Amino acid sequence: MAFNPKRFDLLDELVAQLSDRISPLALLEESGGIAPETTFLEWVEDLATKGLKVDGRAFTFAGRAALREIYASLPSTIEEAHKGTYVIMKGAQTGLTVMELLYSVFIGLKWMPLAIGLYVPDRSLAGYKSSERFMPVLRTIPDAYKQLVVESGGRGKASKEGNVLTRTMGASRFLFLWTSGRMVTESFPLDVVTFDEVQGMTPADVEKVVERMSASIVKLALLISTAMWPDADIDYWFKMGDQRHFHARCGCHDGVVLIQQFPACIQYNGDQTGEGRQDENFPPGWQFQCQVCKTFIPDTNNGEWRAHNPDGEFPSWQFPQVLSSTVSAEDIIKSYRKADDLQNFYNRKLGIPYQDPSQIPVNLEMLNAAAVEGMRRGVVWKTRARGTLMGIDQMGAFNVVIIKERLADGHQATIHVEAIYDDDPFARCDELMASYGVQVCVVETLPNYNDAKRFAKRHKGKVFLASYSDIEGEMVRWGDTEMTKAKRKIAEDDRDRYTVVIDQYKMMQVALARLSSGACLFPDPDGLIQEVVEKGTRRMSAILKEMAFLHFTKVALVVTTTEQGSGAKKMIVGKKRRKVMKVGIDPHFAYANMLCDVAWARAYGTSTFILPEGGDSSATAGAVVGNVANDFAGLPGHIAGLISTQSVDLGGNAICGNCEHCGEETMLCGEINAMVAAKDPACPFFDRR
């Protein structure tokens, strides 16, 4: 056969055409009945004409122009979506979860095959979202519903709609996951991730989930959440974006962002009789009003989105209930006036972060003042010492250490802080134990149990392994106290004698109270420079000022009401739940400081948890309260000899239970903002009932 070069040209052309057809992008664009040019907004509006229902009601954009614009802004092609991030900081019940579900169905159909991870905070919500939110919507979308893969439900029964946590639609999979479990955030390869609430998640937590998309050609992340604290949670991501706010039209050239004028943006038009109205074109009652031009605003959705940070990394929106068609100005202002929990109101109604000083008790001003006072009293950084206390917060190949000593007047003096980056960080902790003559050290048992246990064994009787539990009537419970001889023998054999159980909320409350009251003093914040590692990059840092002080301000003490059930079935049962929450970052130094204060309690007793401000303790010290042998049974002799339980002499029956600052039911001291016991010896703030 003669050589024909045209055949090779034809073959090259066919290969090129085939390559175009079977490329990953082309394969994904083989849609589930959605035309390539169809946008997300067009798809939803078409569904609305065909009977789309949400929560049993017909879906509509009527009165929701601001929300419609967000629908129009989400990417409709893989090229638009590639490596994209979209963030919405919202108020509660604003329709954004429905948008997330509809968008997931849209891209699941159009970009098959696709693996979509829909994340919520915990497992119970994952099941509820799948069964009670996702499926009812999907059943009103025939083209999507008919593609659900029939799977065996066990024992020969067919489960038409698939597994609750894993729905399969055509070639796409919908995984309903939760962020509270390590394996769930790290085990599933995904193309798209959506977050419905990121409260309590640090940026590192979100990044772990996003890493599940590293092998995908899509890599799309959608974060939707109610706000919580400033610069944390969803607010952290919102501020990284272009920060779009909705400007309602009024008499001003740029319109008005109503929540930025709250509560003045809600005014009563006239009196209760309807007479004397400011604007006769409006009925009497509560109305939205711009406080610059004094124009009443009948439609808060009449306006436009504007980016307040145009150079942001990605699109981000702030969506309050002010933009909801089902929430009126009267609803919002009455909720505000009745609110017992302002943070809950600002987060859920206005969709903006709020910091309650009672929840985050430490700020930089307090810490800087403690450093100024510490330097005035001669507190300095040390490389060697004796009789000190140490706390260690341990992670994988990373330990955080704080070392304190006691001043003559009873104040705490921080003399060393360190972040240890090493494959064996406990080897450095061994050196610190020797150099600083540590008499008591407390280290968290997890996550590296074996390393912590070996460290404790090397310093038997000085190092205690800490775990957490709610302890009725106590703050700490030592593993070697009040033990029978038989139990002590078992503990020795198991090497678990030197342990401590900590009520984390109570202990953190005390540790933060010490920081806020000036009972813990610091040396020069710029005086200790160390090498730190941030996202793989090493740099020199003034570690107290740049890390430790920051961590101390990123801990919140929160009391919530227990809820049962999910969604519409959720019930508030009235039981209070105490929680220590991390604000935006993992505040390792705050936990190391708390553990150091546990060591302090071992050495000096619990009656000196909160110390008097200033003064010379020798001038005010009274008689010793309690009997060491009885109050601290089981302590080794060399520790018992160090215990000081001196208190100010305030007369007979000077105990917390007789003080007017002590809540009779809550046992919360309003003066020092700490939990106390009725029989605790009184502090200098004692005022008899």
Supply the angle between the helices 504-517 and 588-604 in degrees, to the nearest 10. Answer: 90
Given a contact cutoff of 8 angstroms between Cβ atoms, the answer to whether 480 and 495 are in contact is: no
Angle among Cα 509, 512, 518 to the nearest 5 degrees reads 135
Q: How far is CA 253 from the centre of its chain?
A: 38
Local confidence band at 685 (pLDDT 50, 70, 90 cut-offs) = low
CB environment 57-82: b (16+ within 10 A), e (fewer): eebebeebbbbebbbeebbbbbeebe
For 283, half-sphere exposure in the C-beta direction (CA atoms, 13 angstrom radius) is: 4
pLDDT one-digit tens code per residue, 218-234: 999 999 999 888 888 89
Strand partners, 448: none
**Is the per-residue pLDDT at 94 higher than 60?**
yes
Report the chain's C-alpha Rg in angstroms: 31
| 8 A C-beta contact, residue 416 and residue 572 | no
Q: Is the pLDDT of residue 617 over 90?
A: no
Residue 459 DSSP class: T
Q: Which residues contact 636 (CB under 8 A, 6 or more apart)?
A: 461, 480
**195-204, 313-322, 515-524, range with the lowest pLDDT:** 195-204
- Partners of 465 in the β-ladder: 443, 499
Q: Specify the CATH architecture of the domain 31-240.
A: 3-Layer(aba) Sandwich (3.40)
Residues 105/334, Cβ–Cβ less than 8 Å: no
Dihedral of the alpha carbons of 655, 660, 664, 670, in degrees to the nearest 10: -100
Q: How far is residue 84's CA from residue 248's CA, in Å, rounded to a whole number?
A: 28
- Whole-angstrom Cα distance, residue 354 to residue 643? 42
Over pLDDT 90: what percentage of the chain? 56
**Which of 45-59, 166-180, 296-310, 341-355 is predicted most confidently?**
296-310
Tokens standing for residue 223: 């974060």
Q: 280 versus 620: which is more confidently predicted?
A: 280
pLDDT at site 496: 66
Q: Does the pLDDT at position 75 exceed 50?
A: yes
pLDDT, residue 158, reads: 46
What residues contact residue 186 under an 8 Å CB cut-off, 6+ apart?
Answer: 208, 211, 212
> φ and ψ at 20, to 5 degrees?
-65, -40
Question: What's residue 682's pLDDT?
Answer: 74
Bond preceding residue 310 cis, omega within 30 of 0 = no
User: Residue 234 corresponds to which tokens in the numbers above?
Assistant: 């969803």
Q: Is the pLDDT of residue 665 over 80?
A: no
Average model confidence (pLDDT) across the chain: 82
Most confident of 247-261, 333-347, 535-549: 247-261
Q: Would you mind telling me the total number of residues written for the chain in this entry?
A: 689
| Beta strands across the sheet bearing 388-395 | 476-478, 499-502, 463-468, 438-444, 388-395, 398-406, 412-421, 520-521
Nearest Cα residue to 199 out of 227, 159, 237: 227
Mean pLDDT of 253-266: 95
Angle at 510 between CA 507 and CA 516, to 5 degrees: 140
pLDDT digits (tens, 9 = 90+) for 643-652: 333 333 445 5
Nearest to 531 by CA among 414, 396, 418: 418
Helix axes 65-73, 96-110, angle to 10 degrees: 30
* pLDDT confidence tier of residue 277, bands split at 50, 70 and 90: low
**Beta bridge partner(s), residue 245:** 306
* pLDDT tens readout for residues 330-367: 999 999 999 888 889 999 999 999 988 778 899 999 99
For the segment 491-496, the average pLDDT, to the nearest whole number, is 53
Q: How do strand 398-406 and strand 266-269 relate by DSSP bridges? A: unpaired
First-to-last C-alpha distance (Å) of the chain:
113
The residue behind tokens 């060697």 is: 384
Distance CA 484, CA 497 (A): 12
Q: Is the pLDDT of residue 4 over 90?
A: no
Nearest to 235 by CA among 585, 535, 491: 585
What's the CA gap between 315 and 306, in Å, rounded? Answer: 11
Supply the DSSP symbol for 91: -
Whether 621 has a pLDDT exceeding 50, the answer reads: no
- Name the pLDDT band for 207 (thresholds 50, 70, 90): confident
Q: Which of 412, 436, 430 is nearest to 604 (CA)?
A: 412
Confidence check: pLDDT of 15 > 60: no
Q: Give per-residue pLDDT as tens, 361-392.
A: 999 999 999 999 999 999 999 999 999 999 99
- Beta bridge partners, 542, equal 529
Checking if the pLDDT of 557 tops 50, the result is: yes
Question: E-assigned strands of 322-454?
Answer: 388-395, 398-406, 412-421, 438-444
Strand partners, 303: 248
Distance CA 668, CA 661 (A): 8
pLDDT value, residue 655 = 82
Q: Which of these, 519, 472, 480, lies nearest to 498 by C-alpha position?
A: 480
pLDDT at position 238 over 80: yes
Contact 504, 512 (CB under 8 A): no
- 632 band by pLDDT with thresholds 50, 70 and 90: very low
**C-alpha–C-alpha distance, residues 306 and 674, integer Å:** 45
Pinpoint the residues of the chain covered by CATH 3.40.50.300: 31-240
Gap between the Cα atoms of 102 and 44, Å rounded: 8
Q: Give the model's pLDDT for residue 631.
A: 38
Contact 603, 641 (CB under 8 A): no
When pLDDT is averaged across residues 436-458 and rounded to a whole number, the result is 94
pLDDT digits 0-9 by tens, 565-606 = 544 444 444 567 788 988 888 899 999 999 999 999 998 875
At 480, is the pLDDT very low, low, confident or very high (cuts 50, 70, 90)? confident
Q: Where in the chain is the domain with CATH 3.30.420?
A: 364-611
What's the rounded mean pLDDT across residues 293-320? 96
| C-alpha–C-alpha distance, residues 624 and 645, integer Å | 6
Predicted local confidence at residue 666, as pLDDT: 62
Distance CA 486, CA 443 (A): 26
Q: Is the pLDDT of residue 185 over 60?
A: no
The answer to whether residue 193 scores a pLDDT higher than 90 is yes
pLDDT score of 183? 47
Q: What is the mean pLDDT of residues 487-498?
A: 58
CATH number of this structure's domain 364-611: 3.30.420
Q: CA-CA distances (angstroms) from residue 236 to 227, 352, 618?
A: 10, 12, 48
The proportion of the chain whose per-residue pLDDT surpasses 70, expressed as a percent, equals: 78
